[in-house]
Amino acid sequence: MTAKLFVTLAQSEPLVVLPAVDDLAGRLADEDEFYYVRARCPEALGYVAVKAPETVTDPDTLADLRIGLEFDEPEVKEKLAKALAYVALGDASRLRHQVSSLAEHLDDDSELVRYHLCTTLVVVGCEHAAKLTSAPEALRERLGDENPYVQGRAAEALGLLAGTDEGVKSDLCLLRSTSQTATRRRSYPTEYSSVGDE
């Protein structure tokens, strides 16, 4: 069966694909495999992960999904990011220790990668909001993303973070820094703001 057919089958009947999970994971890890196949394999694994996360989320497969974000072809990275989002939907706890490494890729050139990874962090944050404390800056940067859907997901994640004790501390530090900057500006007006004040 081709990788594309596995994707179609996994999308409609994910549990039927369970016997092929090891083969799909192996093809994903095979650097000599054609990139199109390597893109389809994580997509199929992602659909399976929603219904049977324990079969897809072994450490080796998760590592292949995450590490591939650094080295793979753009088409493969998009499917890897999508698969990670589905893994989170199946069992968010599987990725709770990967937040910082996933956040490193929120500035990827592909808006699909950025969107799927922001979605992943939102799903993880729904169950483990405190884990988002390792990604606030990367998420804040996405508030200015050119894609409104990425902006929305980043805002959702930051909203979840704001509800935690650590998020409140972070916001207070940000407000204090902003207040101090504003005070300095009032105390030392620029030449433009001081014109006509005398």
Residue pLDDT, tens place only, 125-176:
999 999 999 999 999 999 999 999 999 999 999 999 998 766 545 444 444 4
In a domain, 40, yes or no: yes
In a domain, 128, yes or no: yes
Q: What tens-digit pLDDT sequence spans the chain (198 residues)? A: 688 899 999 999 999 999 999 999 998 888 888 888 888 999 999 999 999 999 888 888 898 888 888 877 888 999 999 999 999 999 999 999 999 999 999 999 999 999 999 999 999 999 999 999 999 999 999 999 999 999 999 999 999 999 876 654 544 444 443 334 333 333 333 333 333 333
In a domain, 197, yes or no: no
What is the Cα–Cα distance from 42 to 29, expressed in whole angstroms? 10
Tell me the pTM: 0.79
In a domain, 111, yes or no: yes
Question: pLDDT at position 95, please?
Answer: 95
Write b or e for each residue in 67-97: b if 16 or more Cβ atoms lie within 10 A of its Cβ, otherwise e.
ebbeebeeebbbbbbbbbbbbbbbbbebbbe
The DSSP secondary structure of the chain, one letter per residue, reads --HHHHHHHHHH-GGGGGGGHHHHHHHHH-TTS-HHHHHHHHHHHHHHHHH-HHHH--HHHHHHHHHHHHHS-HHHHHHHHHHHHHHHHH-GGGGTT-HHHHHTTTT-S-HHHHHHHHHHHHHHHHH-GGGGGGSHHHHHHHTT-SSHHHHHHHHHHHHHHHTSHHHHHHHHHHHHHHHHHHHHHHHS--HHHHTT--
For residue 100, the enclosing domain spans 3-185
Q: How many domains does the structure of the chain reveal?
A: 1
Of 118, 25, 111, the closest CA to residue 68 belongs to 25
In a domain, 192, yes or no: no
In a domain, 16, yes or no: yes
CA distances from 48 to 89, 94, 124 (A): 11, 15, 18
Residue 85's domain is classified under what CATH number?
Answer: 1.25.10.10
In a domain, 162, yes or no: yes
Question: pLDDT at position 3, please?
Answer: 80
